Amino acid sequence: MSCLYYASVTLLMDIEKQLVEQCKNGDRNAQEKIYALFSRSMYVVCQRYSKSQLEAEDIMQESFIKVFKNIEQYRGDSTLGAWVKRIVINTALNSQRSKLYMFPMTDVKELENENDGDFSLSRFHLKELLAMIQSLPEGCQVVFNLFAIEGYSHKEIAEKLHISEGTSKSQYSRAKSLLRKMIEHEEKLSYERAR
C-alpha cells in the first residue's frame, strides 16, 4: 500500500478522534459532522433490517440518539464507523426482536432436503437487493442480514436472538431459498421482456 493511503487513513482517524472528543464535550457541530460522515452507509444497514422507509428512518434516528448519548463509551478499540454500525445493528435488532416472536421460526430439521447451493446477488442493483431482502419474512430477514452480510456465526446469531443454532441455520436456508425464487422470477421476467 502506498504512503498516501496510510497518510489518509491516519488523517481520517485523527479527525474521528477529534470529533469524538468534541462530541463528549457536547459540541452539536461535531455531532452533525459525525452524522454526515456515517448517515448514508448506516441508513442502508437500517433499510436491510426494516420493512419500510419509515421504519428504517425510525431505526436510524434512534441509533444516532444512542451514538451521541453513549459517545463516552467509545474507547477507540475499533474504528468509529465500526462502533456506530454495531449500535445501528443492535438498535435494528431490538426493534425487530418483538416482531420475531409473533412469527414462528422453523427448525433446521424441517429443511434438511432444501437445496442449499449458493447463488449470486451481484448482478442486482442495491435498490433491487434491498427490496428482495425487505420482502423476506421477519425471522429470515434478520438472520440473513446477520449471517450473510454482517458475518456473524449461527452460534452468535442464536445468542443475540435467543433462538437455537438450528433455527438460525433454518432461517438462513429459508431466506436463501426465498431469494433464489425471487431471482428466478426476475430472470424469467427479464427473459420474457427481451423476447
179 contacts 132 by C-beta, under 8 angstroms:
yes
- List the chain domain ranges: 3-96, 108-194
Q: How many C-beta atoms lie closer than 10 Å to residue 143's C-beta?
A: 29
**Please, which contacts does 57-63 make with residues 24 or more away whose CB atoms are closer than 8 Å?**
58/95, 59/88, 59/91, 59/92, 59/95, 60/88, 62/91, 62/95, 63/87, 63/88, 63/91, 63/92
pLDDT tens profile 44-83:
999 999 999 999 999 999 999 999 999 999 988 888 999 9
**What architecture (CATH level 2) is domain 3-96?**
Orthogonal Bundle (1.10)
pLDDT tens profile 72-127:
999 888 889 999 999 999 999 988 776 655 454 544 444 444 444 555 556 678 88
- Give the per-residue pLDDT at 66: 97
Tell me the average pLDDT of the chain: 84
Give the chain's length.
195
Whether the per-residue pLDDT at 17 is higher than 60: the answer is yes
Does pTM top 0.95 for this prediction? no
Q: Considering the domain 108-194 in this protein, what is its CATH number?
A: 1.10.10.10
